[in-house]
Structure 1
Amino acid sequence: MDPNTALIIVDLQPDFLPGGALAVPEGDAVLAPIRALLDAGDYATVVATQDWHPAEHRSFAANHDARQVGEVIDLDGLDQVLWPVHCVQDSPGAALHGALEARRGRLDAVFQKGTELGVDSYSGFFDNGRRKATGLGDWLRERGVESVHVCGLALDYCVKFTALDALELGFATTLIADATRAVNLQPGDGEAAVTALREAGAQVVDSAALLANTAMQETAS
C-alpha cells in the first residue's frame, strides 16, 4: 500500500450494528473486510471516527416534543433528520467495536464527532454546518497523507459525507464498497450515495481488490 494512503474507519460502533439503537441493516457484514484490511497491516496510517453525542443532542427525536424518528426538522438553519438516541458519550453503544478495540495498537488516532448539542456531524472532518473541524484533515496532512480509503457505517450518511469532505480537502478518495452498508431511510439511498461519490471523483473498489493488489506488489518486490 502507498505509505501516503490512510484507512479511515467510520463509526464502527455497537449502536450501528445489529441489536444497536440505530442498527444499519447488514451492518455486521462490514466486519470481515475491515478485519482483513487491518490484519494485512498494509496501511501506514489508520484512523477511526466515533459518533460521540451528549444525551441531550438535538438530533435525537426524543429531545423534541411530538416528533418521530425519521422526521426532518430545521435545526439552527440546517435540515436535520431526527434519529433514535444513539452513541451517547461513555455508553456501551458508543464504544468502538471490539474489532477496533482489539487492534488499538493499529489505530493511530480516533476523532470524535457530534459532540455539539445543536448540530449533527456526519462527516469525520466537519460538523454538518461546517462550523467546526474535528482536526482530522490537518492531522492527515501533517503526516503526509495524500489519499484515503474510507469504510464503515453508514454509507448514505457518515461514510458518504466523510468521503465527500475528503475529496473537497484534496485527498484522493476511495470507497471500499464491501466494507460499508447503508441505512436506506429511503429505498436506494445507498446506491445514490455511491453515485454521488463517483460523480465527485471518488474511486469505488472492494477490499479483495485492494488486498490482491498489495499481494502482487509484495510478490514483485
Structure 2
Amino acid sequence: MKKALLVIDYTYDFVATDGKLTCGEAGQALDGKIAALMQQFVADNEFVVCANDLHEEQDIFHPETKLFPPHNIRGTKGRELYGLVSETYIQHQQRILWLDKTRYSAFAGTNLAILLKERGIEEIHLVGVCTDICVLHTAVDAYNLGISTVIYADGVASFDAAGHEWALRHFEHTLGARVICQ
C-alpha cells in the first residue's frame, strides 16, 4: 500500500518556547519522533509533505485573526520548521514537499488531494501540531475523501491537553482512524 507522511505545522511559532502560538514542551518533545519518521518515509521512497500554516501580516479578513495572536507570518522566523525536523527537511528537501496552507486542514484550498491521487496514495500518516486543530481538521477532510488515516499518538501535541485527549479519541472512534504509538 502506498502511503504518505504529513507533518502538520511543525514550525517555530507552534513549537519553540518563544513561538507566537506554541505548544511548548509537548510540541518540542515530538522533534526526534517526527524527524525519524521523515527519514524512514524518505528511505522507504514514500511521499512526505510538510504542510505549514501561512498568514499575511495584518490580514484582518482571515478568520483566525479573531481567534489567535498573529503567527506563522510570511517571511518571519515563525514559519521556519523547528529543530531536527528542519534539519531533516533541509537534508532531503528534494524528496519532501513543502505545502503552504491558509486554513486548519492541509486539504483546504490546496492541491494535496490531487497530489495524493496522482501518486496512488491510499493511506496518510499524520504527525505535528495542534492535535485538536490542524491535525484534526486534516484528518476530518481525509475521512471525507475516503483516505485511510493513521495518527501517531506520540507524534502529535497541542497547547490544550484536554483538546489533545479528546481529538485522539475522536480520530479513532468517530473518524475510524488508526491511532498508534510506536
TM-score class, shorter: 0.7 to 0.9
SS of the residue corresponding to residue 16 of structure 1 reads: helix
**Which moves more between the two structures, 30-39 or 173-182?**
30-39
Which residue of the other structure, out of 157, 170, 178, is the alignment partner of 1:196?
A: 170
SS of the residue corresponding to residue 112 of structure 1 reads: strand
Q: Distance in 1 between matches of 2:145 and 2:31?
A: 28
Does residue 1:91 correspond to 2:76, yes or no? yes
- Percent of paired sites with the same residue: 31
**Which moves more between the two structures, 95-104 or 166-175?**
95-104
Equivalent residue number for residue 58 of structure 2:
56
SS of the residue corresponding to residue 37 of structure 1 reads: helix
Equivalent residues of 1:59, 1:83 under 8 A apart: no
Q: What residue identity is the alignment partner of 1:55?
A: E
In structure 1, runs of 5+ residues without a counterpart are: 61-74, 115-120, 127-132, 209-221
Judged with a 3 Å threshold, the aligned counterparts in structure 2 of structure 1 residues 102 and 84 are, in CA distance, closer, same or farther, namely: farther
Q: Distance in 1 between matches of 2:137 and 2:169?
A: 13
Q: Distance in 2 between matches of 1:7 and 1:188?
A: 25
Equivalent residue number for residue 105 of structure 1:
94
Equivalent residues of 1:12, 1:96 under 8 A apart: yes
SS of the residue corresponding to residue 204 of structure 1 reads: strand
Judged with a 3 Å threshold, the aligned counterparts in structure 2 of structure 1 residues 80 and 170 are, in CA distance, closer, same or farther, namely: farther
* Cα RMSD for the two superposed structures: 1.9
Mark the structure with the bigger radius of gyration: 1
Instruction: Give the count of matched residue pairs.
Output: 173
Q: What residue identity is the alignment partner of 1:152?
A: G
Tell which has more relative contact order, 1 or 2 (C-alpha 8 A, sep 6+).
Answer: 2
Equivalent residues of 2:150, 2:178 under 8 A apart: yes
Normalising by the residue count of structure 1, what TM-score does the alignment of the two structures yield? 0.72
SS of the residue corresponding to residue 156 of structure 1 reads: helix
Judged with a 3 Å threshold, the aligned counterparts in structure 2 of structure 1 residues 81 and 181 are, in CA distance, closer, same or farther, namely: farther
